[in-house]
Chain A
Amino acid sequence: MDRIPVLRMGSLLLITIQVDMHDKLALQLQDDVTSRIADWGSTGVLIDISSLEIVDSFIGRMLANIAAMSRVLGAETIVVGMQPAVAITLVELGMSLPGVRTALSVEAGMELLYGAGAGFRTGSEDERDEA
């Protein structure tokens, strides 16, 4: 069965969605991300959707679910690279993805995650600055 790869980089998970996803693939990804967070103790999830030509309510819900599930497991999710036409359509459809943090590019997303301490957290490090 085909799967969307979930890459591990330090304490982050990197996911690049490059295929026109059918629904089962989207559900599989949801399962995979949550298992990886639990297995590896990841504290950040970066999802690059710059190759996606549409995000419909199903894919939008998947992104929202991943963000919510990850948060419950202690990881921050950032969705990056949404195409402008996709953003326009998604909002008109009625989904503004509340609860999902976004950034324009992978770099900007990484900065947000590292800024949030996700990239460096090591378990014992609880006294982070709360500026």
Chain B
Amino acid sequence: MSETKRETVPLRNSNDVVLARQRVRQWATELRFTLVDQTKLVTAASELARNAVDHGRGGSMTIEQAGAGMRVGLRLIFEDQGPGIPDVEMALKDGFTTGSGMGLGLGGSKRLVNDFSIETEPGKGTRITVVRWK
């Protein structure tokens, strides 16, 4: 197997959220995702990147190609060292918000990708991994 292509984007402020969107767009374009799939993935990335900045005190996003051969996708990993999510099930519900947002960030972005997993520990941080298959 060839070495995995990978890129990490820091997430410190709202400019980094814009940069994260642009990088995901670039990768999705290179992998020839359809326009709708690109848009969904970029939108999910925007939500999760903003979460990391606003609720996780900043962190990073790693982009890598998932799968090989017939099944190709993009995997995005959002990591922060913030306070963690005390109740994941609750946080995934639409309308749940701790801040001033719509509360669509987590649940909404889950609907925009194919695979979605959260690892979180109170006080340690959160890692959210999403995959959108082509």
Which of B14, B42, B111 lies in contact with A54, CB distance below 8 A? B42
| Beta-carbon contact of B112 and A89 below 8 Å | yes
One of B58-66, B81-89, B102-110 contacting the partner: B102-110
One of B2-10, B15-23, B116-124 contacting the partner: B15-23
| Beta-carbon contact of B15 and A22 below 8 Å | yes
- Bound CA–CA A88/B39 (angstroms): 9
Q: Which residues of A contact B108 (CB under 8 A)?
A: 57, 92-95
Interface size on A, residues (CB 8 A): 24
| Beta-carbon contact of B14 and A22 below 8 Å | yes
Q: Closest residue of chain B to A61, judged by CB?
A: B102
Q: Which residues of A contact B102 (CB under 8 A)?
A: 57, 60-61, 94-95
Which of A23, A83, A85, A95 lies in contact with B14, CB distance below 8 A? A23
Give min CB distance, A123 to chain B, whole Å: 35
Which of B14, B17, B25, B94 lies in contact with A53, CB distance below 8 A? B25
| Beta-carbon contact of B104 and A57 below 8 Å | yes
- Bound CA–CA A94/B102 (angstroms): 10
Interface size on B, residues (CB 8 A): 27
| Beta-carbon contact of B104 and A85 below 8 Å | no
Which of B25, B43, B94 lies in contact with A56, CB distance below 8 A? B43
Give min CB distance, B43 to chain A, whole Å: 5
Q: Closest residue of chain B to A19, judged by CB?
A: B18
- Bound CA–CA A83/B36 (angstroms): 10
Is A40 at the interface (CB under 8 A from chain B)? no
| Beta-carbon contact of A93 and B50 below 8 Å | no
Q: Which residues of B contact A55 (CB under 8 A)?
A: 43
Q: Which residues of B contact A54 (CB under 8 A)?
A: 21, 39, 42-43, 46
- Bound CA–CA A10/B92 (angstroms): 46
Q: Which residues of A contact B107 (CB under 8 A)?
A: 94
Is A20 at the interface (CB under 8 A from chain B)? yes
A residues 47-94 touching B (CB-CB < 8 Å): 53-58, 60-61, 83-86, 88-90, 92-94
Is A24 at the interface (CB under 8 A from chain B)? yes
Q: Which residues of B contact A89 (CB under 8 A)?
A: 36, 39-40, 43, 112
Q: Which residues of B contact A90 (CB under 8 A)?
A: 43
Question: Using a CB–CB distance below 8 Å, which chain B residues touch chain A?
Answer: 14-15, 17-18, 21-22, 25, 35-36, 38-40, 42-43, 46-47, 50, 94, 101-102, 104-105, 107-109, 111-112
Question: Using a CB–CB distance below 8 Å, which chain A residues touch chain B?
Answer: 20-24, 53-58, 60-61, 83-86, 88-90, 92-95
